Amino acid sequence: MSGEPGALRNRLVIATAIWREATNDPLPKLAPGDPADQIEQFELKVVDLLCGEATPETAKRIADQTWDMVEDRPDSDQVKKRVVECHDRLAKLSHKPE
């Protein structure tokens, strides 16, 4: 995971914006520790929040938002792995017969 302060700051800004758009809940408290690990844990919470609240109507938007968070990351990135799992669920959700 990239530990550069600028890259971490950008990741935090993106994840925070998505969180605030998705919910009125306060930002989650993060366990003390390495900033890169904290941001990764927050990003995982964002992905879980979005995917957990997805509907057939919102599935494509959520897929786009979550992919924007991770598209440039290696496949080994934990957040990218979670996004891929989420996309599998979103694809099933958006193709359910009514």
67 is in which domain, residue-wise?
5-23+35-94
Band (pLDDT 50/70/90 cuts) for residue 15 is very high
The answer to whether position 87 is within a domain reads yes
Amino acid 96: pLDDT: 61
| pLDDT digits 0-9 by tens, 47-86 | 999 999 999 999 999 999 999 999 999 999 999 999 999 9
The answer to whether position 81 is within a domain reads yes
Average pLDDT over the chain reads: 91
Can you tell me which residue has the tokens 């694809």? 91
Q: What is the pTM of this model?
A: 0.88
Amino acid 31: pLDDT: 85
The answer to whether position 30 is within a domain reads no
Sign of CA dihedral 20, 22, 24, 29: negative
Report how many domains make up the chain.
1
Tokens, residue 91: 């694809």
